[in-house]
Structure 1
Amino acid sequence: MFRRASPRFTPLRGLKGPRFARYFHLITTNFIDFDSRGNLASRKVSMIVGNPGETYVLIDPEVGTTIRAASPFASHSAAGAERSCKLTFFHDSQHFGFGSSSYPRLYVPSQMPRQTESNSSPATLFLSGKMYEIVLDGTPDAKFAEDASASGRNLESVLRQLEHM
């Protein structure tokens, strides 16, 4: 399945500027987490990835919330107020997580470009929108996700007002 979203308008005739489009590919991958008994359990989840070389994935909010709840870096008392969560992408095993041997883990079946010489790249999970987004830090995709998340927060009060009209 191929879909495209254009975050920037095509430049007007005679104007020079970047032309940018995002392509979406729906895939199924493994998400490993602890079940209600404390045993590791793997389940198939859908996610959206970009073209090769792009550094983002879109995930179901339920998966994102589960990952966020397991974060060792965030204050759980303020969990509702935080809109992002730090993660790491492990290139050799091709998964997002908090540590190379920790859980939960979200596998990405295609290789993401390395951001450092090491086996891992820092990433951020953005917890907003209809689908949550994980991006590798310091990339154009990370800038796009950050801007989109900020726009959503800025428009939240306006949208609430429109709901009550």
Structure 2
Amino acid sequence: MENYDVMNATGCPLHKQYMRGQLPKEGEYMPVIHVWLRRSDGCYLIQQRAKSTDPVPYQWATTTGLPDAGETFLAAARRETKEELGLDLPWTAFKKVRTVITHGGRYRTITQVYLAQLEAPVPTVHPNPLEVRMTAYETLETIREKITQGTFWDYPVLLQDETYFNALEEADR
């Protein structure tokens, strides 16, 4: 079973670990990564999740995950991209665009959001069928429509951050 390092509200380790699935207690936070993979035309690589055990099975999402105990956020972003999509991108491809700290609701998380530009020629995706049913490239406008339709994870609501997508839109300005 995978473990993760428990953190405080500023992202400092509390020198204890929980098993994946175990939620943090009051004053504790779970580290999470989101990776957005973007082509030069501005479309993002999204995935339809394959796990029937997800809170909402088969929803569309970006690449997400928990850093394993002792693993950095960046290393987790790279690992999850490879595990879920078969893309072995260089470390330098990942640019942290924001950190979102969620203090309430079911989850207390510190989420680091990364953007990786997929350079031409765009690498071939090899989805892990245990994690991913299918992939697609979509604009942020289409992703927002999917959120409205309930078919894409609603990160602004889940993370309690209405400005969640702003960092992606502003990343190259």
- Higher RCO (C-alpha 8 Å, min separation 6): 2
Do both share a fold (TM > 0.5)?
no
Q: TM-score, normalised by structure 1?
A: 0.26
Q: TM-score, normalised by structure 2?
A: 0.25
